[in-house]
Copies of this chain bind each other. A is one copy, B any other.
Amino acid sequence: MQSNSSKPSFKVIGTRPIRPGDTDKATGQALYGVDVTLPDLLYGAVLRSPHAHARILSIDTRQAEALPGVKAVITAADLPQPGSARGEDRYQSENTLAREKVLYFGHAVAAVAATNEHIALDALELIQVAYEVLPPVLDPDQAMQEGAPILHNDLSTGANEAPTNLADHMQLKRGDVEKGFALASVIVEREFHTATVHQGYIEPHNASALFSASGQLTIWCSTQGSFSVRSQVAEILQVPRVHIRVIPMEVGGGFGGKNRAYLEPLAALLSRKSGHKPVKMVMSYGEVLSATGPTSAASIRIKMGADASGHITAAAARLVYAAGAFPGSPVGTAANALLAPYRIDNFQIDGYDVVVNKPWAAAYRAPGVANANFTCESVIDELSQKLGLDPLEFRLRNAVREGDLLPDGAAYARIGLIETLEAARAHPHYSAPLAGPHQGRGVACGYWGNGGGRSSASASLNSDGTVNLVTGSVDLSGTRMTLAMQLAEVLGIAAEDVKGSMADTDSTGFADGSWGSRTTFSTGQAVIKVGQELIRLLCKRAADIWKVPLEQVSFADGEFSSGKEKLAFKKLASMLGWDVPVLASAAVNPDSVGPSFATHIVDVEVDPETGQVRLLRYTAVQDTGKAVHPAYVEGQIQGAVTQGIGWALNEEYFYDEAGHLLNGSFLDYRIPTCPDVPSIEPVIVEVPSPSHPFGVRGVGEMSIVPPPGAIANAIHAALGVRMEVLPMSPGRILEALWKEEEALE
């Protein structure tokens, strides 16, 4: 379903052309990182820590180096010193190869390049590492306690303070919280705990590198940002950017987890040390789970109050996010998003970024927000119940609109939360009767801010009137097409006449990575500028052909006109012949973005004997702004909801007390499979964003946010128990039911 609200009318935007690359991906012909083959290719493997926390006393690589077929062995000693200052660069270096200490199970300690994978793996067993094992700390609350094992001896809250695991404390405040709660007629306070979960992309990390004798480094890899790999490798290896060429291959899923470079600097170092041979590295899935960047586990206490008229009077929240081995959890983003859908005059939110002996947390689709939103939407649901209000009605009374402020004080431009709430209330799903016992319906809203960021684009006209468009934005979700469509719209030609490509870092202008649902939005604006420049150049050519002044030439609906004469775009292109080539480039860094809102409805049936939750029906209403390619938008919503379901019901890292990961495989780490997921109905609501010429908003991340809250509320409706933990796995459901029964006895 798609509303037709959006103006102005478009010729290409909003249509559903076939993506050229789809058949290639379906038939396995698209080239991914694992397809890279080069002459004299060596294979790399990584030795990883068996301990969650230990001091490295010594590393002896002599036996490994002596093994026939081994061409290079590297340790942190082969990395340039990152410098003593705390910060991203040093953490990047220490995460690439552990220096004094290993900080999590799977932390890279050494790497080997050999003539084949088997020799490389054998060589790993010949590397002797002496460890002094230290007690680990895995839980962020425990990590903040007095006497907890300390990960970093230079992390402290103040100059003369003792080292701590608390990397950062931030606070958002408005009004008078005590006064706010005093005005409340109902108050709910709960504490929630959410597990560590992984993005679960199917394609493991991979990188191939050739560090040539003349100092030119070429890297083929699976990344969300070729330029960000370039700068990370430049900083870790201290090489000028102009010597590094990153060639982005097709990506088999990223979701935030492929922004950071893991294998790339290792492959580069191994290539240089092995006499400038190309080196290829591919992670096993166990390595992906244990040593890349899952999202933060969190412990969240939240208290909210509302008055008899159904307005929220106050909120207080304390978010503790586990950053993993190095600082940088998304707690700041989570704190701002937690209450973003609601107008609240009095609140205080405290966020804590805490290091623990787990892999360094990375971004995951709307980083940090799905678990935060779960807690707020559970409490909102409970408040509406206590007030005897329909949960959508209660949300509508408190929903933010244009001019309202985010918790961080920024003002909203035109947004679509209310439109999604009304579309949800009007949707047949919301009024459909439930069939049986132990069934329940839940709703939840959610906010995601979306990203802006730096993008550039270039386009070149072909003599047959087709156009090649190139950007540095990695295509994760079909953006080669959504960008080509925006250019085709400007040029007044068919989407099929524009080919969008992603080029390597040598061949195109700078672009930030494809994160924050930013590509169609930000890079799209660079593409639109390029299209306008092409039109300007072609108006000149038309003026020359017609021998009229440039001012007399206009362009509309794909036609150049002199008033008297007309030329269609492709016709003019075919007339240029032996003329100066027509190309243009442009760059942008939008200073505003269009935030997204969504309202989801879910029906569940819970088996009180087994605790299993079955999803019966799912409807996801999202304000997508103008949907460039509605089929992709629907796919993004369905994919996001599916990941949200995994987060809600199945996914979590299991560690033993020593900090060993116990479920490091897709057999034991349960992402949703087809039987777990109902048919998800995406409902596109198009409230055009004022920050994009066509009204485009980010789309991809939003709908991972509401599912945990919506499902938790549905489970409560079905069983009458409030779940305070993610995932809400069968065991946890039963525990909650037993607790409820005990309480009743």
Contact = CB atoms under 8 A, between A and B. Distances in A.
A578 B231 CA distance: 14
A587 B460 CA distance: 10
Given A454-B580, A503-B503, A581-B510, A466 B242 contact: yes
A403 B501 CA distance: 49
A584 B286 CA distance: 44
A37 B40 CA distance: 11
Given A509-B581, A580-B588, A498 B242 contact: yes
B213 A458 contact: no
Given A231-B463, A458-B585, 18 more contacts: A20-B216, A21-B214, A27-B212, A29-B210, A31-B38, A240-B464, A241-B463, A241-B466, A242-B464, A242-B468, A460-B510, A462-B510, A470-B506, A501-B506, A509-B581, A580-B588, A581-B589, A585-B585
Nearest to A580: B589
A501 B507 contact: yes
Contact of A456 (B460, B511, B578): B460
Contact of A213 (B27, B454, B468): B27
A499 interface: yes
A519 to B, nearest CB: 15
Contacts of A231: 463
Contacts of A584: 585
A65 B6 CA distance: 57
Nearest to A466: B242
A231 B578 CA distance: 14
Contacts of A23: 212-214
Find the residue from A454, A455, A509 having the highest chain B CB count within 10 A.
Answer: A509
A509 B456 CA distance: 15
Contacts of A37: 37-39
Given A23-B214, A216-B20, A468 B506 contact: yes
A423 interface: no
A95 interface: no
A589 B245 CA distance: 30
Interface string A33-60: 0010111000000000000000000000
Contact of A458 (B27, B458, B499): B458
A510 B461 CA distance: 8
A22 interface: yes
A658 B289 CA distance: 71
Given A213-B24, A460-B456, A242 B581 contact: no
Contacts of A543: none
5 contacts: A23-B214, A242-B464, A470-B508, A499-B506, A581-B587
Interface residues of A, number: 63
A501 B509 CA distance: 13
For this chain, the copies found in one complex come to: 2
Contacts of A693: none
B241 A24 contact: no
Interface string A242-259: 110100000000000000
Interface in A457-505: 458, 460-464, 466-468, 470, 497-499, 501, 503-505
Contacts of A464: 234, 240-242
Interface in A204-248: 210, 212-216, 231, 234, 240-243, 245
A16 interface: no
A105 to B, nearest CB: 34
A581 B530 CA distance: 14
Contacts of A458: 458, 508-509, 583, 585
Contacts of A499: 242-243, 506
A149 to B, nearest CB: 37
A584 B470 CA distance: 14
A276 interface: yes
B585 A580 contact: no
B583 A460 contact: no
A579 interface: yes
A582 interface: yes
Contact of A509 (B21, B210, B498, B583): B583
Interface of A: 20-24, 27, 29, 31, 35, 37-39, 210, 212-216, 231, 234, 240-243, 245, 276, 454-456, 458, 460-464, 466-468, 470, 497-499, 501, 503-511, 578-585, 587-589
Contacts of A510: 460-462, 581, 583
A704 to B, nearest CB: 27
Contacts of A38: 31, 35, 37
A276 B213 CA distance: 36
A242 B462 contact: yes
A136 to B, nearest CB: 37
Given A583-B456, A583-B509, A20 B241 contact: no
B213 A29 contact: yes
Nearest to A467: B242
Contacts of A581: 454-456, 509-511, 587, 589
Find the residue from A21, A276, A581 having the highest chain B CB count within 10 A.
Answer: A581
B507 A508 contact: yes
A97 to B, nearest CB: 24
Contact of A20 (B214, B276, B468, B507): B214
A406 B709 CA distance: 84
Given A20-B215, A27-B213, A214-B23, A507 B470 contact: yes
Contact of A579 (B22, B461, B466, B589): B589
B503 A507 contact: yes
A470 B508 CA distance: 8
A276 B24 CA distance: 10
Nearest to A218: B31
A462 B510 CA distance: 8
A277 to B, nearest CB: 9
Across the A-B interface, the 6 shortest Cβ-Cβ residue pairs: A242-B466, A509-B583, A23-B214, A510-B581, A581-B587, A503-B507
A405 B422 CA distance: 81
A508 B20 contact: no
Nearest to A530: B585
Nearest to A454: B581
B589 A578 contact: yes
